Structure 1
Amino acid sequence: MFDGSGRRAYGGTALSGPRAAVTWQSFTVVLLCVTADTGRYLITRQPGGTGYWLLLAGTVAADLLLALPVRWTREIALAHAVMAALTPILLPHGSDPTEANNAGLVVAAFLAGAWLRSWAAFQTLGGLMLGLMVSQMVAATGDWRERAVVTVTSCLLPWLVGRVTMARRTYIVELEQHADRLRRDKAATVQRAIAAERSTIARDLHDVISHHVSTIGMHAGAARLGLTDDDHAARKSLAAVEAASRAAMLDLRRLLAVLHGETARSAERQPGLDSLDELLDGLRRAGTLVRLTTRGQSRELPGSVDVAVYRTLQEALTNAIRYGDGGAAEVELIYREGGITLTVTNGTPVQAGPRESEDRPRRGLAGVLHRVSLLGGTLRYGPADDRRSWRLEADFPVEEA
């Protein structure tokens, strides 16, 4: 009957652990009530007569009713009120009317105040007080002041304690629910703001960047078609521009999908090492010589590592084309136990001094560093020992299944 969580014990919503604890606590209270009431009765009264045994059996039965679900609270309290009224009838004249079921009466009053709604609670309180007052009047014990004190102590006080306890617990539960609603509303507001910002960024990317990239590809294609058959180098360069613009549009669509929340579908389309040949062939068509060396036993990598290695290589080759001396770029992939290492080496112009990125990385290298760090890897880059080439080395840890 006693639900410490503020919920009705018979509602069937409590978990098995807390519900079992409440059940054992309820039976403990019932056992203590039976022990207290029968113990006092047996100590103060000598066995004898039918009334003695009837009152003892009624007291035990009334106390055992306290184990019933809380929906029977009113009936339980009225049973204790009847037992209080019957006490002076079944016992000799002048007997204390509370010596039979005093503990059960107090607990019943507490339950009535805690679990019953206003009108039912006041009705039950009236019944308890009436039963106890009738018992005292029949027993003719004390004057009206003593009777009032006994009634307040045994009925009104525990009833008020039950109502205050339940009201306070209900208030605490409402405060916790209100705090939960505020947290959920705050989280939802943040998510809506993030979604709105992502939509704005996606709209700008779609309206501005995609337009420019599409225009580049279209003009490159038109220029290539307008060339004569003798302009092989120009045709080759313009074809590379077209291929690069198409690849940029694909990456842009993937990014837009991510911004629109289509992360699962876009992640499946992210390029990885299986797209490595396509990347290198595109660079070779553009006139950049790239040599790939693979060491170790190649194997399937986790999706995040696979994408990170591809993007790191893509950025490294872009920098080789932009800042290199136009010579070959050496790419080495080493599959090792517990990880994979990517190394990209390209020549640098002899007259060029140390790059700014040696001490302060540019945005591209900063993005690569962030991506590698998120995966627990390490990134090293800078001029090689001969000062004539640039070397980038990235280590990615891979957990073995």
Structure 2
Amino acid sequence: MDTSRSLTRQSLLVAAVAALLDAAQLVLCGAFGAAPVLATVLTVATTAADLALAAPAATVPLVAVAQVVVKLGVAGFVHHFGLTGRVLDVGFLVAGYLAGAWLSGSRSVLTMLLLAGGSMANNLITGNPVTGPPSIHDPRPLVFAAGAGVVPWLVGRYNAARGAYIAELEQREQLRGQEQRTALDRALADEREAIARDLHDVISHHVSAIGIHAGVARMALAAADIDRATTSVTAVENSSRAAMVDLRRQLDLLHGRDHDGERQPGLADIDELVQRVRGAGLTVRVRETGTPVVLPGSLDVTLYRVVQELLTNALRHGRDPAELEIAYRPGRIEIREANPVAAVSASSELPRGLEGIRRRVELFDGTVTGGRDAAGTWWDITVSVPIGVA
């Protein structure tokens, strides 16, 4: 709103200055001494035509016509009374600029041709102060006159094109800023999702183990089996401590802290993970084939979380024994987990808890395949991730 008002004020100022200068020059050239009434009429007409320069852009062709008519009227007046003073045409030049800056297409060109023709006719009537009286053998007056109509139009066209270019650059910058904000929001959402997956893996694994050990301890106490109850309670304590360690590691990672060189767990920590699952009561058979390779840190952590989720699901939903195979193949690493499950109708869909595995491995162009067998009594899932090693 402030910009619009500023442009309006500037348009009014330009129109008022043009009207003042053109009217003052009519007074100074001696027009009122030659014919006061006619000079007054021409002054009013010139002032009105110049003030019309502040009108909306759609009126520019009409304003150009008014400027040509007034210019030719003043030229005829000066020639008829033999006045030697130069009559200014500030409003005429401004009209040419507006035709180039505000109009487009054929309307702009036709308005420019009208102004150029009016300027040429004016010079043919009054002559040019530089080239002298008009002459059929001297085209210079016509060239100067054409320039008075064309040059302001060209300046207006240039400024209009420059303004459009700047506006396009600003729009591109705004779009770029919106894209950057969108990308940032998407990155934050992905990061929150990754954090949620990590916390789910850590908490569900340890809480599942704690729940199983607590149940065993309750049954052992009911049977007065103190040794078994003590073992289960000890496992609950160890699982709680391990959960706190993993949670602290996750929180430190979120806060950008790395105390005492602690690292995120990877495939090198699988044995410890398997021992905790075995301690919770699930028999796990582990087989590793191929030659282990050094994996990127992010992939190493991801594969550890994948194994953790697979074993947690086997602990919660499966039965003994669970089979875990880690195979290092040319250019790929495959992780397979299988275990018996309660007989239900066969389903090809992955359980909801395994959707996080799919999303994790897809970040590394990996795949997740498998599910229940035809009888619905055996769960078998394979995760395959390329590692770029031939």
* TM-score computed with the length of structure 1 as normaliser: 0.48
